[in-house]
Structures are given as C-alpha cells and as structure tokens.
C-alpha cells in the first residue's frame, strides 16, 4: 500500500470494519473484462483468516463466473465522510475499506449451505439461529470465498 500510514493491521479493528460494511462487491475476470457485482454477505473469521459467504439465485452471470473462474476479488467500505476545505483540492474524504481476493466456490452440501446462510443472517440481524425451508434452500446458491489476500485501509 503506497500510503502505509493508512494501512490497518490490527485484527480486532479489521473485524469491526468488515462487520460495519453494508455490502461486499465481488469482482470477476470475464474474458479479459472486469465484472463487479454488489452483494449482501456474511463472514466467519478464524485466527485472522476470513471466509465470506454470499447467496443468490441459481442462475446468472456471477454464478457462471464462479464456475468458470473459481476466483474473485472483493471490496467493501463504510464510514464515508466528506472533509471540507477552502478550495476544491483541499477537500478529502474519510473512509474505511477492506479489499482482497481468493478462491470462490458454490457450496453443495445442505449443512454447508445452511452455515453460509446463517453467517449472512447473523451479520444482517445479529441472530445466528435460523431454520431454512428445504425447497428454498435447494433453489438458492451459496457462494463461499476464502480470503487469501486481505488488506484494510482507513482514511481517518
Ligand atoms: C446493496 C446490494 C446488495 C445486494 N445483495 C444481493 C444478494 O445478497 N444476493 C443477490 O443475489 N443479489 C444481491 N444484489 C443484487 C446483485 O447486485 C445482482 O443484481 C444480482 O445478484 C444478479 O447478479 P448476476 O451476476 O447474476 O447478474 P444477472 O442477473 O445475470 O445480470 C446480468 C447483467 O445485468 C446487469 N446487472 C446485474 N446486477 C446489476 C446491478 N446490481 N446493478 C446494475 N446492473 C446489474 C449487469 O449489466 C449484468 O451484466 C444486491 C444489490 C445491491 C445493490
């Protein structure tokens, strides 16, 4: 990171920022062109390693790209605030941002799909005990991204 004074390496702070983000953008390489899609997400953190979960319909461009590429970049951010100044060039913005990438796959087994959906529900609602309608679960794709790269940058 060029501005390494803005890099965040404290594990608790990174987790706090991830938890505060509203959505996660997944970036795929689609035949040499970028495809970015915003999604709700859930996550599980084990000893600083993050697994992110996403869900959606069983068809569509992102699902095709997960199958085709097996790898996605991600980006999420929060805490935007304009810092005003006397001139245009004196303006700036506060933000908190996490980026990275890693292998992404579609979950197949019912138990792992439910665990991914619980992680999403836990982040959205603060509650992780949920039951899922088997018919709806069947039709839902759950994506799992293991973050191999993850950096966090904060402009305070
Ligand atoms: C904050 C937020 C959270 C979301 N959370 C979820 C989620 O948890 N699960 C989920 O499945 N979807 C979610 N969506 C919708 C998501 O962004 C996609 O629209 C959806 O997942 C379909 O993606 P796809 O790749 O299958 O596109 P397809 O349905 O295959 O569509 C293909 C084309 O449609 C256009 N397109 C697709 N999505 C968008 C979009 N969001 N905006 C503008 N153009 C678009 C693009 O040109 C794309 O190439 C969310 C959207 C937002 C803004």
Protein residue closest via CA to atom 52 of ligand 1: 38
In tens, the pLDDT along 102-129 reads: 999 999 999 999 999 999 999 999 998 9
Q: How far apart are CA 24 and CA 87, in angstroms?
A: 33
Q: Is 62 in the pocket of ligand 1 (CB under 6 A)?
A: yes
Q: How far apart are CA 147 and CA 73, in angstroms?
A: 9
Res 2 pLDDT > 90: no
Q: Is 27 exposed, middle or buried (0-12, 13-18, 19+ CB in 10 A)?
A: middle
User: With contact defined as beta carbons under 8 Å apart, do 126 and 83 qualify?
Assistant: no
Supply the CATH classification number for the domain 4-155: 2.30.110.10
Percent of the chain with pLDDT over 70: 100
Q: How far apart are the CA of 102 and the centre of ligand 1, in A?
A: 20
In tens, the pLDDT along 30-46 reads: 999 999 999 999 999 99
Protein residue closest via CA to atom 48 of ligand 1: 61
The band of 1, judged by pLDDT with boundaries at 50, 70 and 90, is: confident
In the chain, domain spans:
4-155
Q: 107 φ, ψ to 5°?
A: -80, 140
The band of 135, judged by pLDDT with boundaries at 50, 70 and 90, is: very high
The DSSP bridge partners found for residue 93 are 82
Distances (CA, A) of 89 to 3, 82, 131, 140: 18, 13, 52, 47
Q: Which of 1-10, 28-37, 39-48, 70-79 has the lowest mean pLDDT?
A: 1-10
């Amino acid at each position: 990171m060029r501005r390494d004074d803005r890099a965040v390496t404290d594990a608790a702070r990174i987790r706090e920022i991830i938890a505060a983000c509203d959505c996660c953008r997944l970036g795929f390489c689609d035949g040499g062109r970028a495809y970015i899609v915003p999604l709700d997400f859930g996550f599980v953190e084990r000893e600083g390693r993050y697994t992110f979960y996403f869900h959606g319909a069983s068809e569509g461009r992102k699902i095709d790209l997960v199958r085709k590429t097996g790898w996605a970049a991600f980006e999420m951010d929060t805490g935007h605030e304009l810092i005003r100044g006397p001139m245009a060039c004196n303006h700036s913005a506060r933000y908190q941002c996490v980026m990275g990438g890693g292998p992404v796959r579609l979950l197949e087994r019912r138990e792992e799909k439910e665990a991914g959906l619980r992680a999403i529900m836990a982040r959205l609602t603060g509650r992780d005990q949920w039951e899922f309608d088997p018919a709806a679960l069947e039709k839902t794709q759950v994506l799992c991204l293991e973050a191999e790269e993850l950096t966090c940058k904060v402009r305070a």
